[in-house]
Amino acid sequence: MITVKRFNNNSPAWDNFVSSANNGTLFHTRRFLNYHPEERFNDYSLEFYKKEKLVSVFPAALIETESIRTLVSHPGASVGSFVVPEDLAFADALEMVERLIEYSKKEGFDGIKLTQPPTIYSKRLSHYIDFALQKNGFQYAKREISSILFLEKSIDENLAKFKSTHRTAVRKAEKSGVIVKQTDDFASFYEILEKNLSIRHDVKPTHSLAELLYLKEIFPDKINLFGAYIEGKMVAGVVNFIATDNVVLAFYISHDENYQEVRPINLLFYKIFEWAIQKKFSVFDFGIFTVNEEPNYGLARFKENFGASGQYRDTLEIKL
């Protein structure tokens, strides 16, 4: 019999469970979720137990809109849903979803909405939770596409997967004097990012500069910034989140359009792949190129030209 408990901030077991789980990521940890100010979200995270043993965690929050109460897999994270052990049994997956629905009804929720981690975030491929969700009435709210690059054993093997235009762009950046290095100059990068997002999409970055610096402080070995420089000036950058032992996610990508012709972004990614291969990562996640299922074809092509392919990042929901 599986039971459900609301997460207590005094519980020390959560992050230990995530670190050993099949599909746990940095975004599922309390260390990440707790960086948000308490007033930002009404945390309603859940723990699932079987014979008093923790068998799943479910980061979540209560969202109320016009008297509709929805349990949402934590809106402060890129992915959420059930974090499960590597040896998850099919019967347990079904029971977890059943208990989630029962608990949510009892707590007066009108619906549940969750975002599944892409399968590349799992140590062992399993669709048990996906099946259990659909079996119990969940439907797809949206299916975004994330660009995934599988890293080879050497940078030369990955370079061979580049389209010729991207290989040429890497050489052009090198000949133009672009230098790529890891840096802690988040302020310079943030200035580029803020300007780009404002001009292109009239939006602000997900994180403030202060929040990004705080996250870097909390996760010094899990978050890094690679910058591309010309004559000492940062002209492009990528902020990477090391999501699991195998997967690196490009969380922020931005460049100064005044220097676009020297192709700093192409060399930047080449150097990041080289670093990731040396660190024994096997997958690089460029992030989604769809927003509410509307594709950005130019962004898709840009990522495909590095050898990337697509994988679903699914959001499912159910009305109770």
Range of the domain at 29: 2-144+315-319
pLDDT for 12 equals 74
> Which residue from 75, 82, 98, 76 is spatially nearest to 21, judged by alpha carbons?
82
Same structural domain for residues 163 and 274? yes
Same structural domain for residues 139 and 168? no
CB 246 within 8 A of CB 150: no
For residues 196 and 193, what is the distance between their CA atoms, to the nearest angstrom?
A: 5
The pTM score is: 0.92
pLDDT for 77 equals 87
**Residue ranges for the chain with pLDDT beneath 50:** none
Same structural domain for residues 168 and 274? yes
| Residue 118 falls inside a structural domain | yes
Same structural domain for residues 25 and 105? yes
For residues 94 and 91, what is the distance between their CA atoms, to the nearest angstrom?
A: 5
Q: Per-residue b/e over 69-99, b at no fewer than 16 CB within 10 Å?
A: bbbbbbebbbbbbbbbbeebeeebbbbbbeb
Same structural domain for residues 54 and 95? yes
For residues 300 and 212, what is the distance between their CA atoms, to the nearest angstrom?
A: 26
pLDDT for 158 equals 96
CB 283 within 8 A of CB 123: no
> Which residue from 311, 244, 273 is spatially nearest to 152, judged by alpha carbons?
273
Domains identified in the chain, total number: 2
| Residue 177 falls inside a structural domain | yes
Same structural domain for residues 139 and 163? no
CATH of the domain at 157: 3.40.630.30
Same structural domain for residues 159 and 266? yes
| Residue 305 falls inside a structural domain | no
First to last CA, the chain: 22
